[in-house]
Amino acid sequence: MNVLILGSGGREHALALAISRSKRLNALYVAPGNPGCESVAHLVDLDILNGPAVIEFCRRAAIGLVVVGPEAPLVAGVSDDLERAGIACFGPSRAAAELEASKSFTKQLCEEFGIPTAFYRAFDALDPAIAYLREQGAPIVIKADGLAAGKGVTVAATLEEAEVALRSIFEGAFGDAGRRVVIEEFLEGEEASLFALSDGERVVAFGGAQDHKRVGDGDTGPNTGGMGAYSPAPVLSDAVVEQAMREIVQPAVAGMALRGTPFRGVLFAGLMIGSEGPKLIEFNVRFGDPETQAILARLDDDLLDFLYASATGKLQPREPRFLARTAIAVVLAAKGYPGVVEKGGVIRGLERAASRNDVAILHAGTRRVGGDLVADGGRVLAVTALGADIKEARALAYEALGDIELSGGFYRTDIGMKAIGRT
């Protein structure tokens, strides 16, 4: 089978590595991809938001499955275009992608189908939002309703902080994503990420991880797209996963089917796990980044089999096999991230870092300029390592990071420490 992956980040590099190991694979393409993908795939210069252009390439290259990495093509309806053209696509329709595209849409689904989540109100104007905020007090959570690249959320400890976040959103900090704001109650507990695959009817769990969203050590500073992750996450015990699948994931998939918008693809449930059990923070409709890098490092199964079965309505009631090891992914970011970043810095030392056993260097924001590899985004690399436990995986990852040079580059030094504290 010929496979096309859409996207250019660390998640897509991780997907490419995993799919490249499939016995069913003939040729693998990534559009537009990144320099890291070149070792296992052909890079394609393609506008991934342009459905007709994607279809034309698929026909020319005899593509049997398209795997959509980021959310933007899904929200743009590329999956719908491919379905109409008779090309299998791993990723939900535009209508089903509303689970990520609109937080208020997901909140309404939760209300309708009894899915546990934080109490909320949605607002389209600043003044009533401010009035409600002052009634509720702090701590409280402020969210831009639409897609904001993981940066449209503020967990405000004070009313002043919450009001600043509200005004920023309504003044256009996140563009169209901030036309509506969701204000949620603050939930106590520990966050974790649970992935599940669905073919529109059947659902299977697909591993979990714990992400680190804040830019600085000790969970300080602004939110980012993610500074690192590890898998498995001790907080996601078998009992918690079973409860989350039963009370959150399965009702959501069943509800979407009842609404006439069946969900096919990966449903990424961001959970808050507290004294009352898991509650939904938000859904994403694609593999998360950098959770995917950690989860797929442990996969001991044929990823392509699962993705194709999900895309074609033939998912079997079997969860994938994972190694009984721990994986960690630590993000190397460019100076200025998550704000205005410095691009163009030369990256050195990758060969030495990648030569370490059980270490993989996944590219996210890189490009080639002449003979140099340079930083070309906020999150530049994800250094992923496998170990017998979290301590061993952490040690390997940070040793490899020590081999890499990037002027102004930085990373969190405490990824995985929460897991160590639980062991």
The enclosing domain of 161 has a CATH number of: 3.30.1490.20
The predicted pLDDT at position 151 comes to 73
Tell me, yes or no, whether 285 and 345 share the same domain: no
Tell me, yes or no, whether 200 and 304 share the same domain: yes
Tell which of 311, 343, 360 closes a domain: 311
The predicted pLDDT at position 148 comes to 80
The predicted pLDDT at position 222 comes to 86
Tell me, yes or no, whether 193 and 280 share the same domain: yes
Tell me, yes or no, whether 87 and 130 share the same domain: no
The predicted pLDDT at position 322 comes to 98
Has residue 387 been placed in a domain? yes
Residue 209 lies in domain:
189-311
Cα-based distances in Å from 232 to 60, 129, 301, 326? 40, 38, 16, 6
Which amino acid would we find at residue 190? E
The enclosing domain of 28 has a CATH number of: 3.40.50.20
Tell me, yes or no, whether 201 and 280 share the same domain: yes
Tell me, yes or no, whether 366 and 259 share the same domain: no
Has residue 173 been placed in a domain? yes
Cα-based distances in Å from 338 to 165, 325, 341, 377? 16, 31, 7, 10
Tell me, yes or no, whether 207 and 170 share the same domain: no
The predicted pLDDT at position 150 comes to 67
Q: In sequence order, what DSSP letters do the residues of 107-174 get, joined into one string? A: HHHHHHHT--B--EEEESSHHHHHHHHHHH-SSEEEEESS--TT--EEEESSHHHHHHHHHHHHTTTT
In sequence order, the 6+-apart residues with CB closer than 8 A to the CB of 39 are none
Tell me, yes or no, whether 66 and 161 share the same domain: no
Tell which of 254, 277, 311 closes a domain: 311
The enclosing domain of 403 has a CATH number of: 3.90.600.10
Has residue 105 been placed in a domain? no
Question: What is the tally of structural domains in the chain?
Answer: 4
| Closest alpha carbon to 148 in 180, 196, 189 | 180
Tell me, yes or no, whether 302 and 353 share the same domain: no
Tell me, yes or no, whether 175 and 242 share the same domain: no
Mean pLDDT by 10 residues, the chain (423 residues): 97 98 98 97 97 98 97 95 98 96 95 96 95 95 86 89 94 91 94 97 96 94 92 96 98 97 97 95 95 98 98 94 98 96 96 96 96 96 98 98 97 94 64
Has residue 352 been placed in a domain? yes
| Closest alpha carbon to 279 in 240, 239, 231 | 240
The predicted pLDDT at position 258 comes to 97
Has residue 111 been placed in a domain? no
Tell me, yes or no, whether 195 and 171 share the same domain: no
**Cα–Cα distance, 390 to 394 (Å, whole number):** 6
Tell which of 93, 116, 147 closes a domain: 93
The enclosing domain of 291 has a CATH number of: 3.30.470.20
